[in-house]
Structure 1
Amino acid sequence: MNTFFYRNSLGVVVIGCILMAATLNCRAQGHNDTVTPVFLTSTDSIGKAVGKADSIEVVSTVGKEALSTAYADSVRLVDNIHRNMAAWHPDPQRALWMALVLPGAGQIYNRKYWKLPIIYGGFMGCLYAMNWNNMMYKDYSQAYLDIMDDDPNTASYNKFLHLGKKIDSSNEERYKRIFKSRKDRYRRWRDMSFFCMLGVYALSVIDAYVDAELSEFDISKDLSLRVEPAVMTVDGRKSVTNIGAASFGLNCSLRF
Protein backbone atom coordinates (compact mmCIF):
# COMPACT_ATOMS: atom_id res chain seq x y z
CA MET A 1 0.00 0.00 0.00
CA ASN A 2 2.80 2.42 0.88
CA THR A 3 4.61 1.51 -2.29
CA PHE A 4 1.50 2.29 -4.34
CA PHE A 5 1.00 5.64 -2.63
CA TYR A 6 4.64 6.53 -3.07
CA ARG A 7 4.61 5.79 -6.81
CA ASN A 8 1.45 7.84 -7.36
CA SER A 9 2.77 10.78 -5.38
CA LEU A 10 6.00 10.76 -7.38
CA GLY A 11 4.03 10.82 -10.66
CA VAL A 12 1.90 13.74 -9.47
CA VAL A 13 5.02 15.69 -8.56
CA VAL A 14 6.62 15.08 -11.98
CA ILE A 15 3.47 16.18 -13.80
CA GLY A 16 3.25 19.28 -11.62
CA CYS A 17 6.84 20.23 -12.42
CA ILE A 18 6.21 19.87 -16.15
CA LEU A 19 3.11 22.09 -15.96
CA MET A 20 4.98 24.75 -13.97
CA ALA A 21 7.83 24.84 -16.48
CA ALA A 22 5.39 25.22 -19.33
CA THR A 23 3.60 28.08 -17.51
CA LEU A 24 6.86 29.94 -16.92
CA ASN A 25 7.83 29.52 -20.57
CA CYS A 26 4.49 30.94 -21.74
CA ARG A 27 4.86 33.94 -19.40
CA ALA A 28 8.37 34.60 -20.69
CA GLN A 29 7.12 34.58 -24.28
CA GLY A 30 4.11 36.74 -23.32
CA HIS A 31 6.33 39.83 -23.01
CA ASN A 32 6.70 39.84 -26.83
CA ASP A 33 4.20 41.91 -28.85
CA THR A 34 3.18 39.05 -31.20
CA VAL A 35 3.63 35.37 -31.06
CA THR A 36 4.25 33.86 -34.50
CA PRO A 37 4.32 30.15 -35.14
CA VAL A 38 7.74 28.78 -35.83
CA PHE A 39 6.86 27.47 -39.33
CA LEU A 40 5.86 30.99 -40.47
CA THR A 41 8.79 32.91 -38.99
CA SER A 42 11.40 31.21 -41.15
CA THR A 43 12.66 33.84 -43.60
CA ASP A 44 14.49 31.22 -45.65
CA SER A 45 11.29 29.27 -46.35
CA ILE A 46 9.42 32.50 -47.20
CA GLY A 47 12.14 33.52 -49.60
CA LYS A 48 12.14 30.13 -51.27
CA ALA A 49 8.34 30.26 -51.65
CA VAL A 50 8.45 33.75 -53.15
CA GLY A 51 11.25 32.77 -55.54
CA LYS A 52 9.37 29.67 -56.64
CA ALA A 53 6.21 31.70 -57.31
CA ASP A 54 8.19 34.25 -59.34
CA SER A 55 9.85 31.51 -61.40
CA ILE A 56 6.46 29.86 -62.09
CA GLU A 57 5.04 33.19 -63.21
CA VAL A 58 8.03 33.85 -65.49
CA VAL A 59 7.78 30.38 -67.04
CA SER A 60 4.04 30.82 -67.52
CA THR A 61 4.55 34.20 -69.21
CA VAL A 62 7.27 32.83 -71.52
CA GLY A 63 5.08 29.85 -72.41
CA LYS A 64 2.12 32.07 -73.26
CA GLU A 65 4.31 34.30 -75.44
CA ALA A 66 5.75 31.27 -77.23
CA LEU A 67 2.29 29.82 -77.86
CA SER A 68 0.97 33.13 -79.12
CA THR A 69 3.97 33.52 -81.43
CA ALA A 70 3.57 29.97 -82.78
CA TYR A 71 -0.15 30.53 -83.36
CA ALA A 72 0.49 33.80 -85.18
CA ASP A 73 3.13 32.10 -87.37
CA SER A 74 0.76 29.23 -88.23
CA VAL A 75 -2.05 31.65 -89.10
CA ARG A 76 0.34 33.66 -91.28
CA LEU A 77 1.53 30.49 -93.04
CA VAL A 78 -2.04 29.35 -93.76
CA ASP A 79 -2.91 32.80 -95.10
CA ASN A 80 0.11 32.75 -97.40
CA ILE A 81 -0.84 29.29 -98.71
CA HIS A 82 -4.40 30.40 -99.39
CA ARG A 83 -3.15 33.57 -101.06
CA ASN A 84 -0.76 31.62 -103.29
CA MET A 85 -3.47 29.13 -104.23
CA ALA A 86 -5.86 31.95 -105.05
CA ALA A 87 -3.23 33.71 -107.20
CA TRP A 88 -2.27 30.50 -109.07
CA HIS A 89 -3.83 29.95 -112.49
CA PRO A 90 -3.28 26.83 -114.62
CA ASP A 91 -1.79 26.95 -118.10
CA PRO A 92 -4.37 25.79 -120.69
CA GLN A 93 -1.77 24.33 -123.05
CA ARG A 94 -0.12 22.32 -120.32
CA ALA A 95 -3.48 21.08 -119.07
CA LEU A 96 -4.39 20.04 -122.64
CA TRP A 97 -1.22 18.03 -123.21
CA MET A 98 -1.42 16.37 -119.81
CA ALA A 99 -5.04 15.34 -120.46
CA LEU A 100 -4.10 13.95 -123.87
CA VAL A 101 -1.25 11.84 -122.48
CA LEU A 102 -3.08 10.51 -119.40
CA PRO A 103 -6.84 10.75 -118.79
CA GLY A 104 -7.48 12.66 -115.58
CA ALA A 105 -4.02 14.25 -115.46
CA GLY A 106 -5.46 17.55 -116.68
CA GLN A 107 -7.99 17.56 -113.84
CA ILE A 108 -5.20 16.87 -111.35
CA TYR A 109 -3.18 19.75 -112.82
CA ASN A 110 -6.20 22.05 -112.55
CA ARG A 111 -6.67 20.88 -108.92
CA LYS A 112 -10.19 19.64 -109.62
CA TYR A 113 -9.77 16.30 -107.88
CA TRP A 114 -13.51 15.73 -107.42
CA LYS A 115 -13.81 15.10 -111.19
CA LEU A 116 -11.50 12.08 -111.12
CA PRO A 117 -14.13 9.58 -109.84
CA ILE A 118 -16.48 10.71 -112.62
CA ILE A 119 -13.88 10.28 -115.36
CA TYR A 120 -12.49 6.95 -114.20
CA GLY A 121 -15.96 5.71 -113.36
CA GLY A 122 -16.97 6.41 -116.96
CA PHE A 123 -13.92 4.55 -118.26
CA MET A 124 -14.57 1.53 -116.05
CA GLY A 125 -18.24 1.41 -117.02
CA CYS A 126 -17.44 1.56 -120.73
CA LEU A 127 -14.75 -1.12 -120.40
CA TYR A 128 -17.11 -3.42 -118.52
CA ALA A 129 -19.90 -2.92 -121.09
CA MET A 130 -17.50 -3.49 -123.97
CA ASN A 131 -16.14 -6.71 -122.42
CA TRP A 132 -19.61 -8.06 -121.62
CA ASN A 133 -21.06 -7.31 -125.05
CA ASN A 134 -18.01 -8.77 -126.76
CA MET A 135 -18.38 -12.00 -124.76
CA MET A 136 -22.08 -12.29 -125.63
CA TYR A 137 -21.32 -11.49 -129.26
CA LYS A 138 -18.80 -14.34 -129.48
CA ASP A 139 -21.22 -16.81 -127.86
CA TYR A 140 -24.11 -15.95 -130.15
CA SER A 141 -21.81 -15.89 -133.19
CA GLN A 142 -20.65 -19.41 -132.44
CA ALA A 143 -24.23 -20.53 -131.82
CA TYR A 144 -25.29 -19.03 -135.15
CA LEU A 145 -22.43 -20.75 -136.97
CA ASP A 146 -23.30 -24.08 -135.35
CA ILE A 147 -26.97 -23.88 -136.23
CA MET A 148 -26.15 -22.94 -139.82
CA ASP A 149 -23.94 -25.94 -140.51
CA ASP A 150 -24.97 -29.57 -140.92
CA ASP A 151 -22.66 -31.06 -138.30
CA PRO A 152 -24.70 -32.48 -135.37
CA ASN A 153 -21.62 -32.46 -133.11
CA THR A 154 -21.49 -28.66 -133.11
CA ALA A 155 -24.44 -27.71 -130.94
CA SER A 156 -23.26 -24.84 -128.74
CA TYR A 157 -26.63 -23.20 -129.27
CA ASN A 158 -28.24 -25.66 -126.85
CA LYS A 159 -27.02 -23.64 -123.86
CA PHE A 160 -29.26 -20.76 -124.96
CA LEU A 161 -32.38 -22.91 -125.11
CA HIS A 162 -34.88 -23.15 -122.28
CA LEU A 163 -35.30 -26.39 -120.37
CA GLY A 164 -37.04 -29.01 -122.48
CA LYS A 165 -36.69 -27.03 -125.70
CA LYS A 166 -35.17 -28.59 -128.81
CA ILE A 167 -34.39 -27.33 -132.26
CA ASP A 168 -35.98 -29.27 -135.07
CA SER A 169 -37.14 -28.59 -138.59
CA SER A 170 -40.26 -26.81 -137.35
CA ASN A 171 -38.47 -24.07 -135.41
CA GLU A 172 -34.98 -24.08 -136.88
CA GLU A 173 -35.52 -21.01 -139.06
CA ARG A 174 -36.91 -19.02 -136.13
CA TYR A 175 -33.87 -19.80 -133.97
CA LYS A 176 -31.58 -18.89 -136.85
CA ARG A 177 -33.16 -15.45 -137.00
CA ILE A 178 -32.97 -15.10 -133.20
CA PHE A 179 -29.28 -15.98 -133.01
CA LYS A 180 -28.46 -13.73 -135.94
CA SER A 181 -30.32 -10.75 -134.49
CA ARG A 182 -28.75 -11.20 -131.06
CA LYS A 183 -25.30 -11.60 -132.59
CA ASP A 184 -25.72 -8.34 -134.49
CA ARG A 185 -27.20 -6.60 -131.44
CA TYR A 186 -24.30 -7.43 -129.11
CA ARG A 187 -21.81 -6.52 -131.80
CA ARG A 188 -23.48 -3.15 -132.18
CA TRP A 189 -23.53 -2.61 -128.40
CA ARG A 190 -19.85 -3.59 -128.17
CA ASP A 191 -18.92 -1.02 -130.80
CA MET A 192 -21.11 1.58 -129.10
CA SER A 193 -19.34 0.93 -125.78
CA PHE A 194 -16.00 1.54 -127.45
CA PHE A 195 -17.16 4.84 -128.93
CA CYS A 196 -18.62 5.84 -125.55
CA MET A 197 -15.21 5.27 -123.99
CA LEU A 198 -13.67 7.50 -126.66
CA GLY A 199 -16.32 10.09 -125.84
CA VAL A 200 -15.40 10.00 -122.14
CA TYR A 201 -11.75 10.48 -123.09
CA ALA A 202 -12.59 13.43 -125.34
CA LEU A 203 -14.78 15.01 -122.65
CA SER A 204 -11.97 14.71 -120.10
CA VAL A 205 -9.58 16.49 -122.48
CA ILE A 206 -12.08 19.23 -123.32
CA ASP A 207 -12.98 19.72 -119.67
CA ALA A 208 -9.33 20.07 -118.65
CA TYR A 209 -8.63 22.64 -121.36
CA VAL A 210 -11.79 24.70 -120.84
CA ASP A 211 -11.40 24.64 -117.06
CA ALA A 212 -7.84 25.94 -117.33
CA GLU A 213 -8.86 28.53 -119.92
CA LEU A 214 -11.68 29.88 -117.74
CA SER A 215 -9.64 29.89 -114.53
CA GLU A 216 -9.12 33.67 -114.87
CA PHE A 217 -12.72 34.36 -115.81
CA ASP A 218 -14.40 36.81 -113.44
CA ILE A 219 -17.11 34.94 -111.57
CA SER A 220 -17.65 37.52 -108.84
CA LYS A 221 -21.09 38.06 -107.35
CA ASP A 222 -21.29 41.62 -108.72
CA LEU A 223 -24.05 40.80 -111.22
CA SER A 224 -26.69 43.50 -111.28
CA LEU A 225 -29.41 44.86 -113.54
CA ARG A 226 -30.21 48.52 -113.11
CA VAL A 227 -33.38 50.01 -114.54
CA GLU A 228 -33.97 53.76 -114.30
CA PRO A 229 -36.03 56.33 -116.14
CA ALA A 230 -34.29 58.34 -118.85
CA VAL A 231 -35.04 61.38 -120.95
CA MET A 232 -33.72 61.06 -124.50
CA THR A 233 -33.38 63.84 -127.08
CA VAL A 234 -33.91 63.49 -130.77
CA ASP A 235 -30.27 62.61 -131.42
CA GLY A 236 -30.37 59.83 -128.80
CA ARG A 237 -28.48 61.56 -126.01
CA LYS A 238 -29.68 61.97 -122.45
CA SER A 239 -30.84 65.46 -121.56
CA VAL A 240 -32.67 67.18 -118.74
CA THR A 241 -33.17 70.36 -120.74
CA ASN A 242 -35.37 71.01 -123.71
CA ILE A 243 -38.07 68.70 -122.38
CA GLY A 244 -40.42 69.52 -125.23
CA ALA A 245 -38.21 67.90 -127.88
CA ALA A 246 -37.32 64.85 -125.79
CA SER A 247 -38.86 61.43 -125.27
CA PHE A 248 -39.19 59.48 -122.07
CA GLY A 249 -38.16 55.84 -121.56
CA LEU A 250 -36.30 53.34 -119.42
CA ASN A 251 -32.57 52.86 -119.33
CA CYS A 252 -31.40 49.31 -118.54
CA SER A 253 -27.79 48.60 -117.64
CA LEU A 254 -26.46 45.09 -116.97
CA ARG A 255 -23.23 44.63 -115.10
CA PHE A 256 -21.38 41.33 -115.31
Structure 2
Amino acid sequence: MSFKSFIFIIGCCLSLQQLVGQNGVDVKVQQSQIAPVYNPLSPSKAAFYSAIFPGGGQIYNKKYWKAPIVWAAIGASVYYYLDNSNEYDRFRTAFRLRQQGLPDEFNGLNGNPNISTAGLENAQKVLRKNRDLSLLTGVLLYVLQIVEASVNAHLLQFDTSDNLSVRPSLATDPMLIEAPKVGLTLKYSF
Protein backbone atom coordinates (compact mmCIF):
# COMPACT_ATOMS: atom_id res chain seq x y z
CA MET A 1 0.00 0.00 0.00
CA SER A 2 1.45 3.33 -1.01
CA PHE A 3 1.60 6.35 1.22
CA LYS A 4 -0.93 8.29 -0.91
CA SER A 5 -3.51 5.52 -0.71
CA PHE A 6 -2.97 5.25 3.05
CA ILE A 7 -3.61 8.99 3.47
CA PHE A 8 -6.69 8.72 1.20
CA ILE A 9 -8.14 5.88 3.32
CA ILE A 10 -7.51 7.77 6.56
CA GLY A 11 -9.14 10.89 5.08
CA CYS A 12 -12.18 8.90 3.98
CA CYS A 13 -12.50 7.27 7.39
CA LEU A 14 -12.31 10.64 9.14
CA SER A 15 -14.91 12.11 6.78
CA LEU A 16 -17.17 9.11 7.34
CA GLN A 17 -16.71 9.41 11.06
CA GLN A 18 -17.75 13.06 10.90
CA LEU A 19 -20.86 12.21 8.87
CA VAL A 20 -21.88 9.31 11.11
CA GLY A 21 -21.05 11.25 14.25
CA GLN A 22 -23.51 14.05 13.47
CA ASN A 23 -26.59 12.36 14.85
CA GLY A 24 -27.96 15.26 16.87
CA VAL A 25 -26.49 14.32 20.25
CA ASP A 26 -25.93 17.32 22.48
CA VAL A 27 -22.55 17.56 24.12
CA LYS A 28 -22.42 18.87 27.66
CA VAL A 29 -19.21 20.35 28.94
CA GLN A 30 -18.56 20.23 32.62
CA GLN A 31 -17.24 23.36 34.26
CA SER A 32 -14.00 21.64 35.29
CA GLN A 33 -13.17 20.82 31.66
CA ILE A 34 -13.21 24.40 30.38
CA ALA A 35 -9.73 25.60 29.53
CA PRO A 36 -8.42 28.70 31.25
CA VAL A 37 -9.00 31.95 29.42
CA TYR A 38 -6.17 32.98 27.12
CA ASN A 39 -4.57 36.21 28.26
CA PRO A 40 -2.85 37.84 25.27
CA LEU A 41 -1.13 40.43 27.47
CA SER A 42 0.62 37.88 29.66
CA PRO A 43 3.63 37.38 27.34
CA SER A 44 4.08 41.11 26.85
CA LYS A 45 3.90 41.71 30.60
CA ALA A 46 6.53 39.04 31.20
CA ALA A 47 8.79 40.58 28.55
CA PHE A 48 8.25 44.07 30.01
CA TYR A 49 9.09 42.94 33.55
CA SER A 50 12.23 41.18 32.27
CA ALA A 51 13.29 44.28 30.38
CA ILE A 52 12.86 46.52 33.43
CA PHE A 53 14.43 44.10 35.91
CA PRO A 54 16.34 41.03 34.67
CA GLY A 55 14.61 37.97 36.08
CA GLY A 56 11.37 39.88 36.66
CA GLY A 57 9.57 38.07 33.85
CA GLN A 58 10.61 34.72 35.25
CA ILE A 59 9.22 35.75 38.64
CA TYR A 60 6.02 36.97 36.94
CA ASN A 61 5.67 33.54 35.30
CA LYS A 62 6.12 31.94 38.75
CA LYS A 63 9.32 30.21 37.66
CA TYR A 64 11.21 31.46 40.68
CA TRP A 65 14.14 29.08 40.23
CA LYS A 66 15.07 30.73 36.92
CA ALA A 67 15.63 34.21 38.38
CA PRO A 68 18.89 33.37 40.23
CA ILE A 69 20.22 31.75 37.04
CA VAL A 70 19.50 34.96 35.12
CA TRP A 71 21.11 37.08 37.82
CA ALA A 72 24.21 34.86 37.95
CA ALA A 73 24.62 34.85 34.17
CA ILE A 74 24.27 38.60 33.77
CA GLY A 75 26.32 39.22 36.93
CA ALA A 76 29.16 37.05 35.61
CA SER A 77 29.28 38.94 32.33
CA VAL A 78 29.28 42.28 34.21
CA TYR A 79 32.07 41.02 36.49
CA TYR A 80 34.24 39.92 33.56
CA TYR A 81 33.55 43.17 31.72
CA LEU A 82 34.67 45.26 34.71
CA ASP A 83 37.69 43.04 35.41
CA ASN A 84 38.89 43.14 31.80
CA SER A 85 38.26 46.88 31.62
CA ASN A 86 40.32 47.53 34.78
CA GLU A 87 43.17 45.32 33.55
CA TYR A 88 43.08 47.01 30.15
CA ASP A 89 43.36 50.42 31.86
CA ARG A 90 46.38 49.19 33.88
CA PHE A 91 48.24 47.96 30.81
CA ARG A 92 47.22 51.02 28.77
CA THR A 93 48.55 53.38 31.48
CA ALA A 94 51.80 51.43 31.72
CA PHE A 95 52.21 51.51 27.93
CA ARG A 96 51.66 55.29 27.79
CA LEU A 97 54.12 55.90 30.64
CA ARG A 98 56.71 53.71 28.95
CA GLN A 99 56.24 55.57 25.64
CA GLN A 100 57.02 58.84 27.47
CA GLY A 101 60.10 57.32 29.13
CA LEU A 102 58.62 57.34 32.64
CA PRO A 103 58.69 54.38 35.04
CA ASP A 104 55.57 52.20 35.17
CA GLU A 105 54.27 49.48 37.48
CA PHE A 106 55.80 46.72 35.33
CA ASN A 107 59.38 48.02 35.65
CA GLY A 108 61.57 45.51 37.39
CA LEU A 109 64.70 45.99 39.43
CA ASN A 110 67.64 47.81 37.86
CA GLY A 111 65.48 49.16 35.01
CA ASN A 112 64.78 45.73 33.53
CA PRO A 113 61.04 45.62 32.72
CA ASN A 114 59.02 42.57 33.73
CA ILE A 115 56.90 42.96 30.59
CA SER A 116 58.25 44.26 27.30
CA THR A 117 56.60 47.06 25.34
CA ALA A 118 55.37 44.52 22.79
CA GLY A 119 53.93 42.47 25.66
CA LEU A 120 52.06 45.53 26.92
CA GLU A 121 50.60 46.11 23.44
CA ASN A 122 49.58 42.47 23.13
CA ALA A 123 47.98 42.48 26.59
CA GLN A 124 45.96 45.57 25.61
CA LYS A 125 44.66 43.85 22.47
CA VAL A 126 43.67 40.68 24.31
CA LEU A 127 42.04 42.52 27.21
CA ARG A 128 40.13 44.86 24.88
CA LYS A 129 38.83 41.84 22.93
CA ASN A 130 37.82 40.06 26.16
CA ARG A 131 36.13 43.21 27.45
CA ASP A 132 34.13 43.58 24.24
CA LEU A 133 33.15 39.89 24.27
CA SER A 134 31.98 40.23 27.87
CA LEU A 135 29.83 43.20 26.90
CA LEU A 136 28.37 41.33 23.93
CA THR A 137 27.69 38.28 26.10
CA GLY A 138 25.91 40.43 28.68
CA VAL A 139 23.71 42.07 26.05
CA LEU A 140 22.86 38.68 24.49
CA LEU A 141 22.00 37.20 27.89
CA TYR A 142 19.82 40.20 28.67
CA VAL A 143 17.89 39.83 25.40
CA LEU A 144 17.71 36.05 25.80
CA GLN A 145 16.12 36.26 29.24
CA ILE A 146 13.49 38.67 27.87
CA VAL A 147 12.68 36.27 25.03
CA GLU A 148 12.63 33.30 27.43
CA ALA A 149 10.14 35.02 29.74
CA SER A 150 7.85 35.89 26.84
CA VAL A 151 7.95 32.40 25.30
CA ASN A 152 7.42 30.80 28.70
CA ALA A 153 4.36 33.00 29.28
CA HIS A 154 2.99 31.87 25.90
CA LEU A 155 3.58 28.21 26.71
CA LEU A 156 2.04 28.45 30.17
CA GLN A 157 -1.32 29.16 28.55
CA PHE A 158 -1.49 25.83 26.74
CA ASP A 159 -3.55 23.08 28.34
CA THR A 160 -1.24 20.14 28.94
CA SER A 161 -3.45 18.15 31.29
CA ASP A 162 -4.10 14.42 30.99
CA ASN A 163 -7.61 15.15 29.72
CA LEU A 164 -6.16 15.78 26.27
CA SER A 165 -6.05 12.48 24.43
CA VAL A 166 -6.63 10.75 21.11
CA ARG A 167 -7.78 7.13 21.27
CA PRO A 168 -8.13 5.28 17.96
CA SER A 169 -10.43 2.25 17.97
CA LEU A 170 -11.98 -0.11 15.45
CA ALA A 171 -15.79 -0.24 15.44
CA THR A 172 -18.17 -2.60 13.67
CA ASP A 173 -21.66 -1.68 12.51
CA PRO A 174 -24.08 -4.15 14.20
CA MET A 175 -27.02 -2.98 12.08
CA LEU A 176 -25.70 -4.60 8.93
CA ILE A 177 -26.37 -8.34 8.91
CA GLU A 178 -25.11 -9.14 5.42
CA ALA A 179 -21.45 -8.32 5.79
CA PRO A 180 -19.73 -6.67 8.73
CA LYS A 181 -18.21 -3.31 8.00
CA VAL A 182 -15.23 -2.04 9.90
CA GLY A 183 -14.44 1.61 10.34
CA LEU A 184 -11.84 3.66 12.16
CA THR A 185 -12.97 5.97 14.93
CA LEU A 186 -10.79 8.62 16.48
CA LYS A 187 -12.11 9.87 19.80
CA TYR A 188 -10.66 13.06 21.09
CA SER A 189 -11.52 14.80 24.28
CA PHE A 190 -10.41 18.02 25.86
The code of the aligned residue for 2:106 comes to: Y
1:218 and 1:156, CA in 2 relative to 1: closer, same or farther beyond 3 A? same
Matched, 1:166 2:117: no
Report percent identity of matched pairs. 27
Partner of residue 92, structure 1: 43
CA distance in 2, matches of 1:218, 1:192: 41
Distance (Å, rounded) in 2 between the aligned partners of 1:111 and 1:121: 18
In structure 2, the CA distance between the partners of 1:143 and 1:223, relative to structure 1 (3 Å rule), is: farther
1:215–1:177: structure 2 CA closer, same or farther, 3 Å change rule?
same
Which structure has the bigger radius of gyration?
1
Give the 5 Å matches for 1:187-202: 187-202=128-143
| CA 1:183–1:225: 2 relative to 1, 3 Å | farther
Gaps of 5+ in 2: 1-31, 171-180
User: Which amino acid in the other structure matches residue 114 of structure 1?
Assistant: W
Segments of 4+ moved more than 4 angstroms: 86-90, 220-226
Matches within 5 A, 1:197-216: 197-216=138-157
Larger helix percent? 1
2:19 aligned with 1:101 = no
Question: What's the TM-score once normalised by structure 2's chain length?
Answer: 0.60
CA–CA distance in 1 between the matches of 2:37 and 2:60? Answer: 11
- 1:2-151 → structure 2 map (5 Å cutoff): 91-149=42-100, 151=101
Specify the code of the residue in structure 1 equivalent to 2:112: K
Which whole-Å CA distance do the structure 2 matches of 1:112 and 1:134 have between them? 34
Counterpart-to-counterpart distance in 1, 2:91 and 2:167: 63
Query: With structure 1 as the length reference, what TM-score do the two structures score?
Result: 0.46
Asked which structure has the greater RCO (Cα within 8 Å, sep 6+), the reply is: 2
